[in-house]
Every structure is written in structure tokens, then in C-alpha cells.
């Protein structure tokens, strides 16, 4: 994930200072990988965080990224959330 982010930022130039800052914050507070996703240029990030560090991670990212900027503050409740990976797509074949 980290190498993919660096590639997006340096080779494809599809990052922005806000995304760079958010990735740095996520890595600083316990993400083992973080990268931009979506359209870039102000899009969003996805981070892999160990379950036992999740609550602290979310709290610290809120404080370090959202609560330090008046324009970001209204976005924090809808923009920072946790999900778990699913099984992915399945194909059912009837016998």
C-alpha cells in the first residue's frame, strides 16, 4: 500500500498536499499501510490498521487532521470510519 501511494504521488502526480498529510498522519498513528483511493486530487485514503489499535487510531486521526482545520471539522463524522474486509465476489454454479 505504501509503495502504491508513493507511485501515485511521484510517478502519476495524482495526490495533493491534503492527501499527503492525511497519509502521513495515518502512518504516524498506527496504520501499517495507507494510500490514496478514489479520484485522488483531494479524494480520500484507505488505511490498514490492526484491530487492537483501531480506536486509538481513529481518535488520533480525528484530532490531528479534522480538528485542526475549521473547514474539515464538519466532515469528520461522515469521513472517518472503519470497515472490515469481506470475502469478495463468489460465483455459484448449480450442479
Q: Give the model's pLDDT for residue 42.
A: 63
DSSP letters spanning 30-91: T-SEEEEETT-SS-EEEEE--GGGHHHHHHHHIIIIITT-TTTGGGHHHH------------
Give the pLDDT score at 66. 83
47 pairs with which residues across the strands? 34
Who contacts 60 (Cβ-Cβ below 8 Å, separation ≥6)?
25, 29, 30
Is the pTM higher than 0.85? The answer reads no
Domain boundaries, the chain: 1-75
* Fold classified for 1-75: Alpha-Beta Plaits (3.30.70)
User: What pLDDT is recorded for position 39?
Assistant: 62
Write out the chain's pLDDT in tens, 95 residues.
999 999 989 998 888 888 899 999 999 999 999 998 876 566 789 999 999 999 999 999 999 988 887 777 777 677 888 998 888 887 888 87
Q: How far is CA 2 from the centre of its chain?
A: 11
Rounded to whole angstroms, the Cα distance separating 19 from 80 reads: 14
Amino acid at each position: 500500500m505504501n509503495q502504491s501511494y508513493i507511485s501515485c504521488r511521484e510517478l502519476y502526480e495524482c495526490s495533493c498536499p491534503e492527501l499527503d498529510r492525511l497519509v502521513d498522519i495515518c502512518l504516524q498513528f498506527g496504520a501499517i499501510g495507507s494510500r490514496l483511493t478514489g479520484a485522488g486530487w483531494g479524494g480520500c485514503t484507505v488505511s490498514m490498521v490492526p484491530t487492537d489499535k483501531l480506536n486509538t487510531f481513529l481518535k488520533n486521526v480525528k484530532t490531528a487532521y479534522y480538528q485542526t482545520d475549521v473547514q474539515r471539522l464538519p466532515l469528520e463524522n461522515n469521513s472517518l470510519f472503519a470497515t472490515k474486509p469481506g470475502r469478495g465476489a463468489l460465483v455459484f454454479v448449480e450442479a
